[in-house]
Structure 1
């Protein structure tokens, strides 16, 4: 059966107090409305219409061409919003799922089960129901013991008896598409807010003798609509724990889930251990048997099996099998580490390839470079790649050795098996197997240290005496 979707995403979100359009606020790295659309896709929903208003261009930019868009120029209620999709969908046969763009916690499983119940029950409408001990602010479900629904009453229109009901409308619906738009044509704005409520469709269908079915969610968090920063924080926490639980179920050890931040879309292999304080963002992929953290931030990076990253920052980097990064390393975009590479403490790698078995143990900068296999870069090695206008490449071939505190001024090539003596500033290519030394010859001055100290001591005593005389003169 044809299944379509309407996403209500036209509200301003004034309570967010933000320049960013409400449904574009991210939850675990993904805009709320993107979560909703991805859930519709995962549940098998085909054609999707996003009802937009304020910030329409930004929403379209975030979602792209994977959906159609309907403009709601004036926000006159949820029923009015759904009617904005009428010109696109009213002629279709099938099921239409209606969901809010600020409900990022709705799951594909729930939508799939709702759609199936709707299909098999023969209902004109099926709505998601949640039960809260304190349902303040939420529309109440007036229904029967068999799970059918009589009507939905918004809290502002509830009687005292209706306010005591704990079953609430979670704001997600399945409709027979033709019956939906037929009922919407009968909705009026005769209520406290002078708005056209989508919930009135339920009463209209019931009055016409149609069956309306309820589907109770097992997880009340799916009913959470994000209208302010407090709810956004709650959604972030709930989504984060859901993501962490999924990874742990799939064989990942997360030492402290409450202190581990993994965005939606991150992939992690089995038997990897994630330590507290770790933040994994974007399109990050981590293999099996890795050790990540503590206190590492990794974004849009690929880490192969058996690698480790400790107390480091990675952005758009590639880390090869069994490579070791950190502590306190920074891998910037274009950093690519091969197998068994070691990048140690206070090392920065940018737009550089470090091939298999090479080591950059500590206090080094390698940028715009190609480093071959089994190379050792000593402490304080710097590739001097920028002249103020252009970036230049440094090439260090296999099995070369660069001593500590060396500057390699690009463009320059260190040949295979070559040796750069510590403290050198290299400005010319070093052929294979050659030794390069580029530093001033040491010269020792006998007794000069003692003479220098005596001179400095006299100068300091003279300055102190001058200060004392000036002070006496001022006092007088």
Structure 2
């Protein structure tokens, strides 16, 4: 296959069944708007142009796609899929390559499938158009594709217009196509709206080409790949499909998932080999996990990088900007944000580390907090190599604890601590013998007076 490629992505529908102020195609799957999943898939083909057809809520869609190099054209009236594709005709004036026609609410189509469509378009028999077909478990009211054993299409028919014999066919039309630009717009110019809905249907170009004595072809893909989203329930269903595939990939690439169905990945999660992920772990965007890491149950990671041999959780939260270096450990009910834990450093229990650098081999005691925000600005805390921070300590930033220093438990540290020093920042303990007994007797007497 040679020549340039353009993609036309239809995203003009209102999506009223989503019951949302957010445009349908911007609802996320694996932490990323579904339309951007599709644009990423197209981008791997290095297209000359990517054009998104917008309508209702166009401002939202335009803002989402423009940073990714996509253009937009508007369909001000919803007159059918054929009409929507024609909205890109002026934008593609003079373009003489191949056009992929995709749908913004059908986000899981892979680059490999797009490539197969284009390759079939350039096969020796030179079809006028290539249709992507699928065989759903319940063909229902999908349009049918009647084709021979080599995928040459005899006819395509909408379910409502199909005969009983045609309805018995299980090969359905996904709506996705590959067509040479010079054929696409010439054929679309001949499509009419003489149908019950009064709309211009994109699939009509197939029958027009066949009537001209040319032929069109269909290739097949899995039904999950061309599943569309029209409701919250369908969005959840597609999320489940995506997650199942990603879990299978993680395990195939050498990770152990103790309870795979409870682990949730983001679209860009990177997981190394010999990683163990326990139950109910959630990855937000921007997480990179190196080899031989253990992530214990009920942990949440987002925007974090974890190097080899580190341990996380259970019940840990790693927020954006976290870096756990080799062999470090973040334990149960520990939260980190914009923090580096050096090699072998440990924060085992009940700790918040924000805007901090923790040196190699340092130990952070239970209940330690870096007080990084004064209500107006953030400040940093530096903890040196081999330092020991006692339990229930508050380090008020900006502050530095030197290498090998010890902070006594229960301290509030507001000034730098020099290396190898002991820092105590707490009131002197005072004991008053017998005071507790006298206090209780006094309180009992008062209570008796009131109830007497």
TM-score under structure 2 length normalisation: 0.94
Cα offset, 1:318, TM superposition: 1.3
Per-residue CA deviation, residues 35-74 of structure 1 (Å, 9 max, x unaligned), is 1111111234331111111122211222224111111111
Among candidates 138, 160, 164, match of residue 164 of structure 2: 160
Question: 2:382 aligned with 1:370, yes or no?
Answer: yes
- 1:203-282 matched pairs, under 5 angstroms: 203-217=207-221, 219-282=222-285
Write the distance in 2 (CA, Å) between the matches of 1:304 and 1:408. Answer: 30
Which runs of at least 4 in structure 1 moved beyond 6 Å after TM superposition? none
What is the root-mean-square deviation of aligned Cα atoms in Å? Answer: 1.5
Among candidates 80, 88, 93, match of residue 91 of structure 2: 88
Question: 2:445 aligned with 1:458, yes or no?
Answer: yes
Among candidates 179, 182, 205, match of residue 178 of structure 1: 182
SS at match of 2:368: strand
Cα offset, 1:157, TM superposition: 3.2
> Which residue of the partner structure matches residue 350 of structure 2?
346
> Which residue of the partner structure matches residue 377 of structure 2?
none
Question: 2:321 aligned with 1:329, yes or no?
Answer: no
SS at match of 1:294: coil
Structure 2, unaligned stretches of length 5 or more? 373-379
SS at match of 1:329: strand
- 1:17-416 matched pairs, under 5 angstroms: 17-65=19-67, 66-121=69-124, 122-217=126-221, 219-310=222-313, 311-316=315-320, 317-332=322-337, 334-366=338-370, 367=372, 368-384=380-396, 392-409=397-414, 412-416=415-419
Higher mean alpha-carbon deviation, 221-230 vs 77-86, is at: 221-230
Write the distance in 1 (CA, Å) between the matches of 2:284 and 2:82. Answer: 37
Residue 288 of structure 2 contacts residue 305 of structure 2 at CA under 8 Å; is this kept in 1?
A: yes
Does the C-alpha gap of structure 1 residues 240 and 462 become closer, same or farther in structure 2, counting only changes over 3 Å? Answer: same
Q: Which has the larger radius of gyration?
A: 1
Higher mean alpha-carbon deviation, 315-324 vs 359-368, is at: 359-368
SS at match of 1:347: strand
Higher mean alpha-carbon deviation, 40-49 vs 70-79, is at: 40-49
SS at match of 2:445: helix
Residue 380 of structure 1 contacts residue 404 of structure 1 at CA under 8 Å; is this kept in 2?
A: yes
Residue 402 of structure 2 contacts residue 417 of structure 2 at CA under 8 Å; is this kept in 1?
A: yes
Does the C-alpha gap of structure 1 residues 377 and 233 become closer, same or farther in structure 2, counting only changes over 3 Å? Answer: same
Higher mean alpha-carbon deviation, 103-112 vs 55-64, is at: 55-64
Higher mean alpha-carbon deviation, 1-10 vs 56-65, is at: 56-65
Residue 98 of structure 1 contacts residue 174 of structure 1 at CA under 8 Å; is this kept in 2?
A: yes
Write the distance in 2 (CA, Å) between the matches of 1:132 and 1:199. Answer: 19
Does the C-alpha gap of structure 1 residues 331 and 441 become closer, same or farther in structure 2, counting only changes over 3 Å? Answer: closer
Per-residue CA deviation, residues 311-345 of structure 1 (Å, 9 max, x unaligned), is 2111111111111111111112x121111110111
Write the distance in 2 (CA, Å) between the matches of 1:17 and 1:9. Answer: 17
Residue 65 of structure 2 contacts residue 71 of structure 2 at CA under 8 Å; is this kept in 1?
A: no
Write the distance in 1 (CA, Å) between the matches of 2:36 and 2:89. Answer: 23
Cα offset, 1:88, TM superposition: 1.2
Residue 394 of structure 2 contacts residue 412 of structure 2 at CA under 8 Å; is this kept in 1?
A: yes
Aligned length: 438
Write the distance in 2 (CA, Å) between the matches of 1:164 and 1:81. Answer: 30
Write the distance in 1 (CA, Å) between the matches of 2:401 and 2:97. Answer: 64
> Which residue of the partner structure matches residue 2 of structure 1?
4
SS at match of 2:105: coil
